[in-house]
Amino acid sequence: MKHFTSVNDVNDLNKWVSEALKIKSDPLGFVDIGGQKTMGLVFLNPSLRTRMSTQKAAMNLGMNTMVINMDKEGWRLEMNDDVIMDGYTVEHIKEAAAVLGQYCDILGLRCFPNLKDKQEDYSEDILNKFIKYCGVPVVSLESATRHPLQSFADLITIKEHATKSKPKVVLTWAPHVKPLPQAVSNSFSEWMVKAQELNMVDFVITHPEGYELAEEFTKGAKITHNQNEALKDADFVYVKNWSSYSNYGEILTDGKGWMMDNEKLKLTDNAKVMHCLPVRRGLELGNDILDGKNSLVIHEAANRVYAAQTVLKKLIEGNKL
């Protein structure tokens, strides 16, 4: 059974991007492929873009959609095996996932990390158990370590707006008041490293000391603690905060001097600026950029539909649903 949880589930990155852009040019061109199948979206954490864009994508393919916010509407789930459930959990993931699989042809799952236990988070226990027990194809709507639909949309956006055959793409850390997961940054790095191997981009990561991401996501990227050096001649700048991986889940600096604004933009080659959203204005990213002509944040969000639509089409075809 085929699932979509990372770039490793993509057999040809160039072809997937091309197909997404083709779908974007005619969103209802494959409206019959869904055949009234049901897409279930299961959220253990909040969502705006992921929920709406994936619903829209499924509808564009002729699918029905059902959504459940398990953190608010479902029973409290037990994730551990071989336990006596005499505490606050009400339903085991074995039954919950299996039942959802009975109602849906494809399931999407969002499950954030707790940022307290690195080993637990990076084992992707919740996502893997969901896949194991539900019995249908699963799409990651962001897990503890990755956000593949976002990264796919990011690559589509870069391809659309690139003026060079191999643009320089920079991932820069940004300040934040809360410790955030590494999932978006891990995933973006993983997709850009793969794109770099295919000569689609030149990829650089910049962040303060202590914010190194896990090597499995960044191997092959140039990494520097000098933001100004990284920004030089950049064509795209991807702005994102993440908490420390080595000092797991911690904030190590107030980030003074790291916020991207129009002054820093002068170091680039008139770069387009990207962010997955939601963004804290004036903290992660300057208002001058967000309200200016170099911002691609709304374009990125729009492309979430076509990234999801491509993935769902591939899963329907690949699993012969």
3-state secondary structure 117-148: CHHHHHCCHHHHHHHHHHCCCEEECCCCCCCH
Residue 28 annotated as lining a ligand binding site: no
Residue 149 annotated as lining a ligand binding site: yes
Residue 240 annotated as lining a ligand binding site: yes
CA 55 to chain centre: 16
Residue 47 annotated as lining a ligand binding site: yes
Residue 267 annotated as lining a ligand binding site: no
What are the two backbone dihedrals, phi and then psi, of residue 107, each rounded to the nearest 5 degrees? -120, 140
Residue 119 annotated as lining a ligand binding site: no
Sheet holding 202-206, edge to edge: 222-224, 202-206, 168-173, 236-240, 272-274
HSE-up of residue 214 (Cα within 13 Å, Cβ side)? 19
Residue 148 annotated as lining a ligand binding site: yes
For residue 25, the one-letter residue type is S
Widest CA span in the chain: 60
Residue 176 annotated as lining a ligand binding site: yes
Cβ–Cβ < 8 Å for 192, 274: no
Rounded to whole angstroms, how far apart are CA atoms 315 and 273?
A: 31
Residue 50 annotated as lining a ligand binding site: yes
Residue 277 annotated as lining a ligand binding site: yes
Residue 75 annotated as lining a ligand binding site: yes
Report which of 62, 14, 72 is spatially closest to residue 42, judged by C-alpha positions.
Answer: 72
Tokens standing for 155? 């690559």
Residue 276 annotated as lining a ligand binding site: yes
73: exposed, middle or buried (Cβ count in 10 Å: 0-12, 13-18, 19+) = exposed
Residue 299 annotated as lining a ligand binding site: no
Binding residues: 47-50, 75, 110, 142, 147-150, 176, 240, 276-277, 280, 304
Binding residues for N(2)-succinyl-L-ornithine: 142, 176, 240, 280
Binding residues for carbamoyl phosphate: 47-50, 75, 110, 147-150, 276-277, 304
